[in-house]
């Protein structure tokens, strides 16, 4: 059995430094969860997704743009000849580096053959910003104004939409009001490279959706237009903060002169199988199956009836103007509530790494208790990808333990050849579970929190023998953004942690820090991340840690937590985020473990090279020391043969 925290500490990572770009791998892994199969499980989760369909790459298929609470736009490319959710490939987690966005809309507003984007951000919430597309870049032109030069204002609690309501070949702007009416901004054309919108009325079509007879309605919070009855004009659909379904107002006028039927508002939609959620549903339409009609998608932004952090991306197929529900989790991804914290460990001693995911809490149930999800690694699927099966959503199953925002870390703290468990929590404590089972069958017994460790919140434990004295020391991130170092003054059988440094390496990442140690080129480097989505790589330079830019990360979401994963096919970082999802990020340009001649193939040639090193008593080469015991001998040959056999 490997007696280190996880396998990452004994594996060699040879990075082609400097400047290694790390990319999200959308094909990494397959997950089985009951009757569900997730073909692309590590594409990040969704909490309150706002989406738009648009053929960005001009292949006649609408791609997917998705904005969540992290303020960045995700861009998914739709693959050709495919109408399934797993046929979307994540292209970017931060489309053109837009950040801090409240809402967005992409279209060719000036009819120049290029797309522009209109957004609102979290700093100037009421204002509306316009970006032109110039030389493959979005260039900020300014805030949208009316014909009098006054900046227009949009209620930040509403999600506006654009539609050519009068069929004059330009897009007009609509937004709701909390008082229950709809604002109508008519498009006046282009001036100084920007469209101009005049507020014609804040009582469009005399729609008033709050009142004694309509007491469930509370403004047009998320609206959209589409020809729902196929009569050539645009009907209005909207999700309301106090409505768990969708409302529909039919257009009984014409495409040039709309007349909205306020007397016959449809209370629930779709007719045959109405959506029913926590409220504030955002409708959108696209022909996802390329059959000539538009299908319905509804994302749940969570309104008055609680939080819906999973199953919040629903797909209805349009079948002869009847919308048939196909899925409530359209993008096939692991999505576990919010603030998930992953870690890999071989918990069942079968020589592969299993996945554990700590969660915040489920706001839909009481008590609000965090859980640890366990996914067993059962080998590989038909494509050679890691195959995980969800074993349980409550690995601890311990009535004594009622904390939330759980951050798990496994380590053999008592040297009895099985993994024990430590869990950080929301309050800043670190809890200890002793494994009273055995190496093959774990059984975690709750002992209690560790000593005097009581931090500012969001404690994130990481164990490593930093001083090479044979026992594990403890590093903890926390809400303040610093890293604390606790030395183990006990021994490998009985731990005793004392605070050695309350600001390790003078690191302060401002909010919700966590640290991950990894062996890179036989050096012990570490990575620190924070709640804002920042990732910092510290490289060991002859015993001194230096902040380095050698690793370039994509944006992975808020409230990050990291762990390392390695098998014979992959090496990289698994990251959890605030949206409840995970990403797998590949290291590129590196040698595989055992690839001693750097030809990207692990075979008998590498064995010959290793044997020659031993016979010639050549100098010590760290990459040849596969078990990292500082000796190159027959044990390393056995390890290399095992790598080759497992690869085959």
What tens digit of pLDDT does each residue of 8-28 get? 222 233 333 445 778 898 888
**What does the pLDDT look like over 31-50, one tens digit per residue?**
999 998 898 899 999 999 99
Q: How high is the pLDDT of residue 10? A: 25
State how far the Cα of 511 lies from the Cα of 426, in Å rounded to an integer: 13
Of 228, 236, 262, nearest to 175 by C-alpha is 236
State how far the Cα of 50 lies from the Cα of 300, in Å rounded to an integer: 8
Tokens describing residue 486? 């606790």
Report helix, strand or coil for 611: helix
Residue 63 has pLDDT above 90, yes or no: yes
State how far the Cα of 63 lies from the Cα of 56, in Å rounded to an integer: 6
- Please, which pLDDT band fits residue 7 given cuts at 50, 70 and 90? very low
State how far the Cα of 553 lies from the Cα of 575, in Å rounded to an integer: 11
Q: How high is the pLDDT of residue 255? A: 95
What's the mean pLDDT when you consider all of the chain? 89
422, 409 Cβ separation under 8 angstroms: yes
**What does the pLDDT look like over 371-417, one tens digit per residue?**
999 999 999 888 778 999 999 999 998 878 899 999 999 999 999 99
Report the run of H or E that residue 462 belongs to, with start and end: strand 460-464
State how far the Cα of 635 lies from the Cα of 377, in Å rounded to an integer: 26
Task: Give the DSSP per-residue string, 535-577.
Answer: EEEEEEETTEEEEE-SEEPPP--SS-EEEEEE-SS-EEEEEE-
Residue 511 has pLDDT above 90, yes or no: yes
Task: Calculate mean pLDDT across residues 560-582.
Answer: 90
Task: Calculate mean pLDDT across residues 240-255.
Answer: 93
462, 515 Cβ separation under 8 angstroms: yes
More confident of the two residues 422 and 594: 422
Contacts of 510 (CB under 8 A, 6+ apart): 481, 530, 531, 532
- Please, which pLDDT band fits residue 431 given cuts at 50, 70 and 90? very high
Residue 588 has pLDDT above 60, yes or no: no
- Please, which pLDDT band fits residue 542 given cuts at 50, 70 and 90? confident
Residue 648 has pLDDT above 60, yes or no: no
**What does the pLDDT look like over 134-189, one tens digit per residue?**
999 999 999 999 999 999 999 999 999 999 999 999 999 999 988 888 999 999 99
More confident of the two residues 425 and 221: 425
């Amino acid at each position: 059995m490997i007696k280190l925290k996880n396998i990452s500490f004994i594996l060699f990572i040879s990075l082609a430094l400097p400047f290694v770009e790390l990319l999200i791998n959308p094909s990494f892994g397959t997950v089985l969860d009951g009757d569900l199969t997730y073909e692309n499980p590590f594409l990040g989760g969704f909490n309150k997704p706002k989406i738009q369909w648009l053929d960005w790459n001009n292949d006649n298929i609408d791609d997917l743009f998705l904005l969540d609470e992290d303020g960045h736009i995700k861009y998914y490319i739709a693959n050709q000849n495919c109408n399934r959710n797993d046929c979307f490939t994540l292209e970017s987690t931060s489309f053109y580096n837009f950040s801090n966005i409240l809402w967005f809309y992409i279209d060719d507003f000036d009819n120049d053959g290029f797309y522009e984007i209109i957004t609102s951000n979290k700093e100037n919430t009421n204002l509306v910003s316009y970006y032109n597309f110039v030389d493959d870049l979005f260039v900020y032109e300014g805030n949208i104004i009316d014909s009098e030069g006054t900046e227009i204002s949009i209620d930040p609690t509403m999600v506006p939409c654009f539609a050519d309501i009068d069929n004059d070949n330009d897009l007009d702007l609509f937004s709701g009001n909390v008082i229950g009416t709809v604002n109508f901004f008519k498009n006046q054309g282009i001036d100084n490279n920007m469209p101009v919108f005049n507020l014609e009325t804040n009582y469009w079509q005399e729609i008033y959706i709050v009142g004694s007879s309509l007491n469930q309605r509370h403004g047009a919070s998320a609206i959209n237009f589409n020809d729902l009855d196929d009569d050539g004009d645009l009907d209005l659909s909207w999700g309301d903060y106090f409505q768990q379904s969708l409302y529909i107002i039919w257009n009984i006028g014409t495409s040039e002169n709309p007349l909205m039927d306020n007397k016959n508002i449809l209370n629930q939609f779709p007719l045959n199988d109405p959506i029913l959620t926590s409220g504030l549903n955002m409708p959108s339409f696209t022909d996802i199956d390329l059959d000539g009609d538009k299908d319905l998608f509804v994302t749940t932004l969570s309104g008055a009836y609680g939080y819906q952090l999973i199953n919040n991306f629903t797909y209805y197929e349009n079948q002869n103007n009847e919308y048939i529900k196909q899925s409530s989790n359209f993008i096939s991804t692991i999505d576990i509530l919010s603030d998930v914290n992953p870690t890999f460990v071989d918990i069942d001693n079968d020589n592969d790494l299993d996945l554990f995911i700590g969660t915040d809490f489920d706001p839909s149930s009481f008590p609000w208790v965090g859980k640890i999800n366990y996914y067993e690694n059962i080998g590989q699927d038909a494509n050679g990808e890691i195959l995980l099966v969800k074993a349980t959503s409550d690995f601890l199953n311990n009535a004594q333990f009622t904390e939330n925002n759980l951050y798990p870390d496994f380590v053999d703290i008592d040297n009895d050849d099985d993994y024990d468990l430590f869990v950080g929590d929301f309050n800043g404590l670190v809890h200890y579970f002793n494994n009273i089972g055995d190496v093959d069958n774990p059984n975690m017994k709750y002992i209690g929190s560790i000593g005097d460790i009581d931090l500012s919140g969001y404690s994130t434990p990481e164990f490593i023998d930093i001083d090479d004295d044979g026992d594990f020391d403890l590093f903890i991130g926390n809400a303040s953004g610093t890293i604390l170092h606790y030395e183990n003054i006990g021994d490998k059988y009985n731990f005793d942690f004392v605070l050695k440094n309350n600001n390790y390496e003078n690191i302060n990442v401002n909010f919700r820090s966590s640290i991950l140690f990894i062996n890179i080129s036989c050096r012990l480097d570490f990575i620190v991340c924070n709640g804002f989505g920042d990732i910092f790589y510290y490289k060991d330079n002859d015993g001194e840690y230096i902040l380095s830019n050698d690793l370039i990360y994509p944006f992975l979401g808020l409230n990050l937590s990291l762990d390392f994963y390695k098998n014979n096919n992959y090496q990289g970082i698994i990251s959890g985020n605030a949206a409840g999802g995970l990403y797998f990020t590949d290291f590129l340009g590196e040698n595989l473990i055992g690839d001693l001649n750097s030809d990207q193939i692990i075979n008998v040639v590498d064995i010959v090279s290793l044997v020659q090193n031993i016979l010639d008593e050549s100098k010590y080469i760290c990459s040849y020391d596969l078990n990292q015991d500082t000796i190159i001998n027959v044990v390393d040959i056995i390890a290399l043969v095992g790598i080759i056999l497992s690869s085959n």
